[in-house]
A and B are shown apart, each in its own frame.
Chain A
Amino acid sequence: MITFEGVTKRYDDGTVAVDDLSLEAPTGAITVFVGPSGCGKTTSLRMINRMIDATGGRILLDGQDVRQIDPPTLRRGIGYVIQQAGLFPHRKIVDNVATVPYLLGWDKKRARARAMELLERVGLDAGLARRYPFQLSGGQQQRVGVARALAADPPVLLMDEPFSAVDPVVRTSLQDELLRLQSDLQKTIVFVTHDIDEAIKLGDTVAVMRVGGRLAQMAGPATLLTEPADDFVREFLGRDRGIRRLSFIPAKDVRLAAVPADLALDASGRPLGWRTTGGLLPYGTFNPERDSLRAALDAALLAVNGTAVAVDEDGRVIGVATREALDEVLGQYAARHTSPAPRDPRPEEAHRTSAAAAPGSAPEVPAEASGPDGHAPPDPGPGNHTDGEGPRG
């Protein structure tokens, strides 16, 4: 667990980059710092591994003040990934990944074996290991950056806008990859981004910061979408909060109906379209085991008859979900979230407490702790992420 206690960074010229920041980044979860440029999110991150030293307050790593640890020693125990990957251009990929093991005095063979294992783990071909960084694409370099950060198996990973410099398609695949890795590894990750969608997708907890280095709200992504603490957070979250919120509701509770006769199937049971006199009409599919309610609703909207086709992993039809069936789930969901909890007059304080405290002491959103969200529990046990990942896929 990483704990910020009243952390302040004030530069000599009087600029305050981070102002009295208190929060906790729980063990084994992804905590995202998000905010506009100048909100002190990167500074906050860099104070954890002492790339920058705080001028006030303290940062605790599992209870120990980071200021008591010699910076290089501290940093060797913390994975660090930055925007441009920062790979050493003069070293082959395998040696880049093995940097920290070498520093820790591992023998060369073991370090390289570990590096090869990690390259495979982040989805890179073993043949790339002998190449130099300039021979790799931006996305590949970024994967190497992640592998390098994981090389010595540090419990904590700091990621400073790691995916900002790659194109959107690659970025999405890198994000999915990170979630997949995290479901295996359960590292304590602090992730900085200016992209709220990335924050919502990746974060178990999202800390929204405002210019001047102050915390605006800290909450699980689903809570953030439904209950932004103030106008700043609301504006920063942007449009379609309701729809985006559906990404956090799994589709597995949707009641499926039998396959109707007018759905044309091929020989192996995959959908072909909705039969009409004029021919086949478009259809949409979702996978109830893997997808969110958002995907199910989207599938329904694609078809003229408003019915979504449910498929299994192989794409074979297992049933259909009518609009009514979807409405039922939406209705149940809304009911759980319409009773307003007693509000603290200062929302910022309320949310800070909610994120920092144990699950039982966050009474305002009772559904969160056990609900389908899977994000908000501030102290997620192992496996939490596996649950949480399902509806995002």
Chain B
Amino acid sequence: MGDEPLVRWDWIWRNWDTGRPDSILALLESHVVMAFLPVLFGLMLAVPLGLACARWRWLYQPTVSVMNVVYSLPSIAIFIVMLAITGLGQATVIVPLTFYSLAILIPAVVDGLTSIPDHVRKSAVAMGFTPLRRLVGVELPLAVPVVLAGLRVATVSSISLVSVGALIGQGGLGYLFIDGWQRQFTTPIVVGIVATVLLAVIADGLLVLAQRLLTPWRRA
């Protein structure tokens, strides 16, 4: 490598938006899709599953155990297994990441629901809330902060994990790592790392903002 600089800025300008699928902008776009859809799907599944676990406590321990196993599966291995099922496509990455998100979000939903003070729940019952109204009007809003904390971890992890998909040809910005490695060229790798972290920081910031807007009663 010798006097090769860590980052060659001209490479970034040339590859920023070439219109081809391996341009930085195109990779960023597919990265965003593959990182956010799993979190979204994960949330959609985690809320009903978490509610079920909070309602029937005996479900919780087995669910958590299963989720712990899911969490310990190496992502690359799952991607490969998925390859056999879905073929090469974004779904190969999105489906396993959905399960990772689920592993983080179900405990968050359950913790959120069980963290509601008993007197609040009881007074809602006493005032004549029906179970559904109580859920929508009282319990879910009060669980939001804990769920959002889980959502932040899930989002950031998801953004970071997508790049592993590059090993099977679907990894968004992860492609830059493979490309850089194969060409022994550091610029794309640095670009990939920086872009991934920036993406995560922005997403995290938006979630913090969402938490402020959604739970004004917690602003001290």
**A/B touching: CB–CB < 8 A:** no
**Which residues does A use to contact B, with CB under 8 Å?**
none
**Which residues does B use to contact A, with CB under 8 Å?**
none
